[in-house]
Amino acid sequence: MIWNRKIGTRLGVGFFTLLLLLLAAAVFGINRMHTLYGLISKMHVHPFTVTRAVSRIDANMINIYQRMGSIVHARDLSDVDKYSLDIDETEKKIYEDLDIISRHFLGDKEMCITASSLYSQLKPVRDEVISLLKAGKRYEAEDILHGRYDDHVEAFEKVTSAITEFAQNKAGTFLYDAENITKDALVLMWVFLPIATIISMLIAYLLTRSITSPLSTLNQAAIEIGKHGPYTTIDVTSDDEIGQLASSFRTMTKDLKEHREMLKQTNSILSSTVESTADGILVVDTEGCVTFYNQRFAEMWHIPQSLLTTRDDEQLLSCVLAQLSDPEGFLADVKELYTTPERKSFDVLNFKDGRVFERYSQPQTIEGNVVGRVWSFRDVTRRREIEKSLMRELSINKAMSEISSELIKPLSITTIADTISQYARELTTSKYANASYIDQFTDHLIATAVSKEVWDQCRVGNQSLVFREFKGLWGWVLKNKKPLMTNTPTEDPRYEGIPEGHVVIERFLSVPAMIDGTVVGQVSVINPDRDYTEADLKVAERLAALFALAINRSRIEDTINRELNFQSSVARITEVLLDPRLDKYDISKVLHEEALSLTGSSHGYVSIIDEVTGDNIAVNLTDMMEVECKIARENQRISFPRSPEGYSALWGHSLNTREGFYTNSPAEHPAFKGCIPEGHVLLQRFLSVPAISGERLVGQISLANPVRDYNDKDLEMITRLAVIYSIAIERKTMEEQLYALNVNLAQRVDEETARRQQHEQLLIQQSKMAAMGEMIGLIAHQWKQPLNAISLITQDIGDAYLYNELNIDYLKETETKILKQIQFMAQTIDSFRNFLKPSKEKVAFDVKTAIEEIVSMLSPLLIKSNVKLNLDYAGNGVNTNATGYQNEFKQVILNLINNARDALISKSSGEPKTEKAIQIDILEESAKTVVSIRDNGGGIPDDIIGRIFEPYFTTKSSEQGTGIGLYMAKTIIETNMGWKLTARNIDNGAEFRIEI
């Protein structure tokens, strides 16, 4: 229909006859309509596009501010990076909206440039805040965020507010112009109406219906939009220009709805943000009326809802003052801030219940005018507690470092215990402390580090530092290997009371010191002015761990020192043993002195068993008989006979059982009865070990009354001394017998012939003794390496402490290394002792193994002499099993290798560049096992090769040889074992062959 056509078409058809008359009016009306349409389009493009962009910017600014708040309070740097990325993405959106505003804003473009410039200044401030946070300067970052950053944001918001205000004003101008244009068009129509009343009555009516009615609707809609917002319905649906105008109106109202919903959403986000923050927020206007608060504020200050609804700041102040430690100071600060509204503030509030708040305050401004004050309260109670805990931990760590520095020093266990006790008392603020250790041999608790204050106040009779039984609370800790902390000890079911006169125990804390699950000590404290806490328990546990390491180190050092002292004693005894000028009584004297020194004994004696009577004769005693013994002189004895039932008393017990023993309670030992005559020195502790050679008792070492208890280590050392003593007695006895034989040889020829085998055995033993000097040199050489290793390990302990490597695993590894070296040294002595032990009966042994043992013993000496020794074995086809005297066979091999070495050394003095070599082969010839020992020492002169096996024949000086070595070798191999020993010259050397 024509009414759905364009207005121009309708006017052309309807007013064709009035074309000349109404042309000017029609053109003018169309122009006004087009202008109105342009104004409405501009109203949509400029005010609403710009306003919507500003709204998005405001929302994104709030989002960025929230992210900055999250960054400031982030606990992890990864969260800072995540929030920074979110801010960067949001910032891109803000720049896009700024670009939209710049393109569509019809006002002063300088405002857009200013907005962009102000916003670009925010990023350096944000970057500075993030940098400070990453550097750990949280408070400085917060100051910048709430200072310079807020100032920049406020300046930026002023510019955007101005842009929004301009856009809104512009929208009003466009609307006003549209209304004026509409009115002008209507006036024009009414001017021409009288002229065309008759002609255009019908057309005017139709045009009024088709044009003025929708325009009136649009006009009314515009008025309603101005009054009530974008919720007015526009019922114009035509397809003409008015319909397009109506469509533009509908689009505008839709945009306005979206903008209003966005504002609601922004307000909702802002409200949720304020409610979700951990801080309490309160806003008060200049009249003292509360304009805003969040729920967190009410919860923090315990303010009832009924009071909050009054919104009276004075009433709120009255409610909170009773909670504060300093209400007067709090009230004075608030009043001062209200008198200086532009001032910012920060302070700390302390509550009576122990809480701590940080209070921030700054003025609320609108367009530069102070309209109120914003208060922010943050609960930092937990943070303050953590800071306090960290400071305590720092002081504890410092103390632990000082303790470690002390413990690394070579201190006695008593000094170490005193140090631990002192720090335990100080770090737990206890009145009394005690660091005690378990004696590794007696398992008694030694409390050497009891606080001096305890001894000053304790009134217990028979005070003792040694506890043999573990009782009460401290005993429970040791038995159960668990710490115990109680602030009501008398109510604890494990409490067994205290001795009369003991210090009253009000609070108790004790921790076992343990190494690999074994209790080695204990750290105990009592009676602080407050209750013990888990923090005190942790401190005590750390001290106990350090104490355990120190005890373990002390034990290792004690073991090393004991072994070194023992080896020193052995060296001194050996030196006396090898001196032909000294007899067995001189040896007994030295051994007696060393036994007393090694065990710390006050008294003792060394005895010799008379070979004829069996009496036990004390040849060396301490001065107790001269000084302390009260037995009448005529009744004093140093010889103790053997009865048919054996020996009597404690000293006789070890001889009867042929086993060493000790007792720290002699009066309770079964053999004590009748042991001590009246006037005898009181026996407090006793140790006795028999000296046995083969099956024969040769003597005894008995000791008594050290200041401490005897232990298994004492018994083990004296047992080893007793073995050396038995060897020494046997050796000196043999020497005496040999001397007697030489003096009376003429008178005892017949007896000598009958005892030839025995004498040859004595000569063998004498040959061993002659070789002992070289063996001592070998031992000393072999000991150098482990002693040097022990020295290096000891130095490494100090380095480990300096580089914080000192821990239980390191100490265990160090202990293993040291004990391994000590074991090697002990094995060296055992090998030396076994070599000197004479063989009584023929035994089955492996020839190859026996030769390897001798080669191993001589290896350091050969290396020192630059002699190369090779041992070749033909393989499984050779039978190396033999039956004979194993030790004597070893002595033969030793003599033959030593003779070859001497020949090589003698030859090398004239030919220094010649390689010195000894070759030992084990092979099979004609069903016989043959041991061949060859050298390249130039051989044996032909004129003496037939005499080398004669007794006392030697080509060496008297200091270097006795002439019995090869004679005894020949006797051992052929007479005693029934084998064959021969010698012959080979190319540039000599060969000795043993045919088995």
Domains and CATH numbers, the chain: 7-212 (1.20.120.230), 277-380 (3.30.450.20), 397-561 (3.30.450.40), 609-821 (3.30.450), 837-995 (3.30.565.10)
Residue 944 in tokens: 């003496």
> H helices of 600-711, where?
624-627, 649-657
Nearest CA among 561, 599, 591, 598 for reference residue 573: 591
In the chain the first and final C-alpha atoms are separated, in Å, by: 145
Q: DSSP states of 672-712 as a string?
A: GTT-S-TTPPP-SSEEEEEEEETTEEEEEEEEE--SS---H
Residue 78 neighbours by CB distance under 10 Å: 9
Which H or E element spans position 905?
Answer: helix 886-908
Distance CA 496, CA 472 (A): 5
Tell me the DSSP string of 168-233.
HHHHHHHHHHHHHHHHHHHHHHHHHTTTTTTTTHHHHHHHIIIIIHHHHHHHHHHHHHHHH-TT--
Tell me the C-alpha distance between 281 and 976, whole Å: 111
Tell me what pLDDT residue 622 has. 61
Which tokens in the block code for residue 967? Answer: 């004679």
Residue ranges of the chain with pLDDT lower than 50?
Answer: 451, 459-463, 625, 630-637
pLDDT in the model for residue 460: 46
Tell me the β-bridge partners of 882: 845
What b/e string do you get for 29-55 counting C-beta neighbours within 10 Å, with b at 16 or more?
beebbebbbebbebbbebbbbbbbbbb
Nearest to 26 by CA among 188, 240, 196, 212: 188
Closest CA to 308 of 325, 322, 320, 323: 320
DSSP assigned state of 744:
T
Q: How far is CA 306 from the centre of its chain?
A: 56
> 584-599 vs 534-577: helix axis angle to the nearest 10?
170
Q: Is 907 helix (H, G, I), strand (E, B) or coil?
A: helix
Residues 6+ apart with CB under 8 A from 213: none
User: What SS3 class is residue 158?
Assistant: helix
DSSP label of 561: H
CB distance 727 to 718 below 8 Å: no
* Residue 253: closest CA among 212, 291, 286, 225: 225
Q: Which residues of 936-965 are buried (b: 16+ CB within 10 A; e: fewer)?
A: bbbbbeeeeeeebbeeeebeeeeeebeebb
CA dihedral 551, 552, 553, 556 (to 10 degrees): 120
User: What pLDDT is stored for residue 630 in this prediction?
Assistant: 46
Residue tagged 């609960």 (tokens): 379
CA distance 460 to 455: 9
State the Cα–Cα distance between residues 236 and 240, nearest whole angstrom: 10
* 3-state DSSP helix/strand/coil % of the chain, to nearest 5: 60, 15, 25
H helices within 19-149, ranges in order?
19-43, 49-72, 77-104, 109-120, 122-134, 138-144
d(CA 518, CA 812): 13
DSSP H or E segment with residue 413: helix 413-427
Token pair listed for 985: 């010259």
**pLDDT value for 461:** 44
Per residue, the 3-state secondary structure of 48-77, as one string, reads HHHHHHHHHHHHHHHHHHHHHHHHHCCCCH
pLDDT at residue 738, as a whole number = 76
What integer pLDDT is reported at residue 930 of this predicted model? 93
| Amino acid at position 746, single letter | A
Give the Cα separation of 11 and 762 in Å (integer): 158
311 torsion bin: left (phi>0), alpha (psi -120 to 50), beta (else): left
| Parallel/antiparallel/unpaired status of strands 867-873 and 916-925 | parallel
Residue 291, phi then psi, degrees to nearest 5: -95, -20
Helix (H) or strand (E) holding 703: strand 696-704
The amino acid sitting at 208 is: T
Residues 922, 847 contacting (CB under 8 angstroms): yes
Residue at token pair 């086993």: 659
Compute how many other C-beta atoms are within 10 angstroms of the C-beta atom of residue 160: 23
Nearest alpha-carbon partner for 421 in 445, 449, 401, 447 = 449
Asked whether 695 and 721 are in contact (CB, 8 A), the reply is: no
Measured distance CA(954)–CA(961) in Å, rounded: 7
Q: How far is CA 685 from the centre of its chain?
A: 45
Q: Residue 931 — φ and ψ, nearest 5°?
A: -110, 115
Go through the chain and tell me how many residues it has: 996
- CA pair distance 721, 689, nearest whole angstrom: 9
Rounded CA-CA distance 445/462 in Å is 16
